[in-house]
């Protein structure tokens, strides 16, 4: 209805601002918009991106998952350690299984017992970090035969010139998007996030819906751990520390609402990619590594504020 | 409005005591943990160790005071760990140029200013404080690195580290500051207009607004207090350590939230007190201290903490449910 500049800005302000940023960096750094660099950025964001796909499901129901960072550490330690003792295939199965199990545990506590999601997953963050130290005995683990294992394909491989982690991320995003858009579970997730009471009255079992979102989050973190283990060929006891907040920042930046019910997978892909391109662009322009954090701060505030302001129809609350 | 300081039905002293305990169940739990550790380790229940425990708990405790105010408002502040790091970096980094106390005051002001920024953004934009302070957590840590350039700053004049070495019996100055601040803000919550407004805003923000409370100004004040208290914690930490590391206070915001929630203050707002928070802070400190005295590996502490938190939450839900029915 409204094709004026202000209308465009209001609806797609985030994308417009992002394109302006991309153009600005590209004019000042020749290496920025090359295929090689773009693939590099996508490779860097593939791990947090993979996790963010699952967290998007959780956030869409109006809940949080802060345990994914610790879970990533635990699962990376498991996949690397089991690769040495049980072989790559068994290691992958165990990692995904553990991810599903811990996701299910979160899901029971939040979905069925009805405890506060922030606190439950915060407790899980602490508990899993303890489990990591218990499992590893505090020492780092490395893959012994890093040079000749097919496990390397997940983090280091290429397919038709595209890094395998990027393919996994985009494939995951496609599947996640289809699930949200075209399945009963997807519609129920939006329903529970939009208005939980109304969804329950219309026959949706909110407990199961919430449960499944945590299972999905555990699973995507498992896939992320496989990519991480394969890329690093080892695992430290703090490898995923703080990832939960980066992931959440990406989800929020994309415009998915923490209140639930509003958001989508492509927005998360956009948000996480933006974080990656901001980091990469600032480094190419010669800024210190940590300047990206200041820019991220400003971008999160501005992006979410504009988004909220557009929905509300005025800037200030 | 139903909150901690509302008058109860008249009943026997036993009834009053019981319902106080039901609402402050953390103190029962604290007494139990103290009892268990006293029996398990001969070094636990000594004056010296109790003093140590208070000092260890005081840092998270000071953060928890501000977090309690913000949380009763129904908001949250994730940026306290980063604010703490900035204040301690400024206090140590600037004292060579301008002297100790001006540097300390500037450190405190930085905390107040960042808290003010958080509060203003929340009030003006209507964004959830989780989003605003998550951004702050990332960005303020960036400010710390921009200022200190990835290096730990060291004090040149070591008399700075002797400032908090004042003891009243076994109780250190740091612990006294924590307790004094906690008591002061409990008085603010229970006996001042600002305190009553805090419960009102957290309980029902629309009703609070309709009854004439300036909700925006109110929230800005509480976020500013929270930032200032985080800076107090950072400065005490810099005095204790003699250095300011850019990564200081990382994930302390999470420990702080754990302490406050353990105490019984609710994330939904409108309910809680600093008595509860002191109980939560002390329980956390007792668990950490006691487990270390028993020589348990570090991972046990992390796992116990996670389990206790979930149990506390489940217990709170159970008791709350019973009171409601």
List, for residues A80-129, the tens digit of each pLDDT value. Answer: 999 888 888 999 999 999 999 999 999 999 999 888 898 899 899 989 99
CB atoms within 10 A of CB A11: 12
Count H helices, E strands: chain B?
Answer: 13, 4
Closest residue of B to A301, CA-based? B132
CA–CA separation, A106 vs A95, rounded Å? 17
Residues of chain B contacting residue A132, judged by C-beta atoms under 8 Å apart: 299
pLDDT of residue B77: 95
Domains, chain B, with CATH or none: 43-324 (1.10.3470)
pLDDT of residue A5: 63
Higher pLDDT, B12 or B276: B276
| Distance between A82 CA and the closest CA of chain B, angstroms | 21
Task: Please report where in the chains the tokens 């999905």 appear, as a residue.
Answer: A216
- Going by their DSSP bridges, the two strands B153-154 and B243-244 should be labelled as antiparallel
pLDDT of residue B267: 86
Q: Taking a contact as any Cβ pair under 8 Å apart, which residues of chain A between 107 and 136 contact chain B?
A: 109, 113-116, 118-120, 122-134
Q: What is the token pair recorded at A98?
A: 């553990």
What's the average model confidence in pLDDT over B117-141? 93
| Distance between A174 CA and the closest CA of chain B, angstroms | 27
List, for residues A225-265, the tens digit of each pLDDT value. Answer: 999 999 888 888 888 888 888 899 899 988 888 888 888 99
Residues of chain B contacting residue A134, judged by C-beta atoms under 8 Å apart: 297, 299, 303
- B260 in contact with A at a CB cutoff of 8 Å? no
| Distance between B168 CA and the closest CA of chain A, angstroms | 35
CA–CA separation, A211 vs A60, rounded Å? 13
* Beta-carbon separation of A119 and B309 below 8 A: yes
pLDDT of residue B229: 98
pLDDT of residue A221: 96
CB A252, CB A304: distance < 8 Å: yes
CB A121, CB A64: distance < 8 Å: yes
Domain boundaries, chain A: 46-273
Closest residue of B to A123, CA-based? B306
Q: Is the pLDDT of residue A33 over 50?
A: yes
Give, for A6, the enclosing helix (H) or strand (E): helix A5-28
Q: Is the pLDDT of residue B300 over 80?
A: yes
From the candidates B303, B314, B319, which should be mutated to test the interface with A, based on the most A CB atoms within 10 A? Answer: B303
CB B32, CB B271: distance < 8 Å: no
Mean pLDDT taken over chain A: 89
Exposed / middle / buried, residue B259 (Cβ in 10 Å: 0-12, 13-18, 19+): buried
Task: Please report where in the chains the tokens 């990591």 appear, as a residue.
Answer: A132
- Report CA dihedral (A26, A27, A30, A33) to the nearest 10 degrees: 20
List, for residues A170-213, the tens digit of each pLDDT value. Answer: 999 999 999 999 999 999 999 999 888 898 998 889 999 999 99
| Distance between B134 CA and the closest CA of chain A, angstroms | 7
List, for residues A270-287, the tens digit of each pLDDT value. Answer: 999 999 999 899 998 888
Q: Is the pLDDT of residue B150 over 50?
A: yes
- B151 in contact with A at a CB cutoff of 8 Å? no
From the candidates A290, A303, A310, which should be mutated to test the interface with B, based on the most B CB atoms within 10 A? Answer: A290
* Beta-carbon separation of A300 and B131 below 8 A: yes
What's the average model confidence in pLDDT over B106-130? 95
Give, for B254, the enclosing helix (H) or strand (E): helix B252-263
* Beta-carbon separation of A308 and B126 below 8 A: yes
CB atoms within 10 A of CB B64: 34
DSSP 3-state of A234? strand
CB atoms within 10 A of CB A165: 28
pLDDT of residue A9: 63
């Amino acid at each position: 209805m409204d094709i004026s500049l202000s209308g465009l800005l209001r609806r797609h302000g985030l994308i417009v601002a992002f394109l302006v940023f991309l153009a600005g960096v590209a004019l000042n750094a020749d290496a920025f918009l090359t295929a090689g660099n773009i693939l590099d950025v996508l490779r860097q964001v593939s791990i947090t991106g993979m996790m963010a796909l699952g967290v998007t499901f959780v956030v869409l129901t109006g809940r949080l998952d802060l345990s994914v960072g610790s879970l990533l550490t635990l699962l990376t330690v498991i996949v690397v350690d089991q690769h040495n003792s049980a072989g790559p295939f068994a290691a992958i199965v165990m990692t995904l299984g553990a991810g599903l199990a811990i996701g299910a545990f979160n899901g029971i506590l939040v979905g069925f017992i009805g405890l506060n999601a922030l606190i439950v997953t915060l407790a899980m963050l602490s508990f899993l970090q303890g489990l990591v130290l218990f499992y590893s005995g505090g020492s780092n683990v490395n893959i012994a035969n890093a040079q000749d294992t097919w496990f390397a394909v997940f983090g280091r491989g290429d397919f038709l010139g595209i890094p395998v982690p990027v393919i996994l991320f985009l494939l995951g995003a496609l599947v996640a998007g289809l699930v949200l858009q075209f399945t009963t579970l997807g519609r129920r997730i939006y329903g529970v996030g939009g208005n939980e009471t109304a969804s329950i009255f219309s026959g949706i079992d909110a407990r199961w819906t919430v449960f499944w979102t945590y299972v999905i989050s555990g699973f995507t973190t498992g896939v992320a751990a496989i990519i991480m283990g394969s890329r690093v060929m080892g695992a430290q006891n703090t490898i995923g520390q703080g990832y939960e907040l980066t992931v959440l920042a990406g989800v929020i930046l994309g415009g998915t609402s923490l209140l639930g019910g509003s958001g989508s997978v492509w927005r998360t892909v956009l948000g996480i990619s933006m974080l990656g391109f901001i980091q990469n662009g600032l480094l190419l322009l010669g800024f210190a590594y940590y300047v990206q954090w200041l820019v991220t701060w400003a971008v999160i505030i501005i992006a979410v504020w504009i988004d909220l302001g557009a929905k509300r129809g005025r800037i200030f609350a | 409005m139903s909150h901690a300081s509302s008058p109860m039905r008249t009943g026997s002293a036993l009834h009053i005591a019981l319902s106080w305990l039901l609402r402050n169940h953390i103190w029962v739990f604290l007494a139990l943990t103290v009892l268990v550790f006293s029996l398990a380790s001969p070094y636990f229940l000594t004056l010296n160790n109790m003093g140590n425990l208070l000092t260890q708990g005081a840092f998270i405790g000071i953060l928890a005071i501000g977090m309690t105010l913000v949380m009763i408002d129904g908001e949250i502040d994730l940026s306290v760990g980063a604010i703490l790091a900035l204040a301690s970096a400024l206090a140590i980094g600037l004292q060579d140029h301008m002297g100790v106390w001006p540097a300390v005051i500037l450190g405190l002001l930085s905390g107040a200013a960042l808290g003010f920024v958080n509060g203003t953004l929340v009030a003006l934009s209507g964004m959830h404080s989780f989003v605003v302070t998550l951004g702050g957590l990332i960005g303020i840590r960036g400010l710390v690195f921009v200022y200190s350039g990835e290096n730990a700053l060291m004090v040149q004049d070591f008399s700075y580290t002797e400032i908090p070495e004042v003891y009243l019996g076994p109780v250190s100055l740091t612990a006294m500051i924590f307790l004094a601040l906690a008591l002061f803000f409990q008085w603010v919550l229970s006996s001042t207009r600002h305190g009553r407004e805090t419960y009102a805003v957290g309980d029902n923000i629309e009703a609070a607004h309709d009854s004439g409370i300036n909700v925006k100004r109110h929230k800005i004040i509480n976020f500013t207090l929270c930032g200032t208290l985080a800076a107090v914690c950072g400065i005490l930490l810099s005095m204790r350590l003699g250095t300011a590391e850019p990564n200081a206070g990382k994930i302390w915001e999470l420990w702080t939230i754990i302490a406050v929630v353990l105490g019984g203050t609710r994330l939904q707002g409108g309910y809680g007190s600093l008595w509860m928070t002191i109980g939560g802070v002390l329980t956390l400190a007792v668990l950490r201290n006691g487990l270390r005295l028993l020589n348990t590996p570090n991972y046990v502490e992390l796992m116990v903490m996670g389990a206790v938190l979930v149990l506390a939450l489940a217990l709170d839900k159970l008791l709350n449910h019973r009171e409601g029915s």
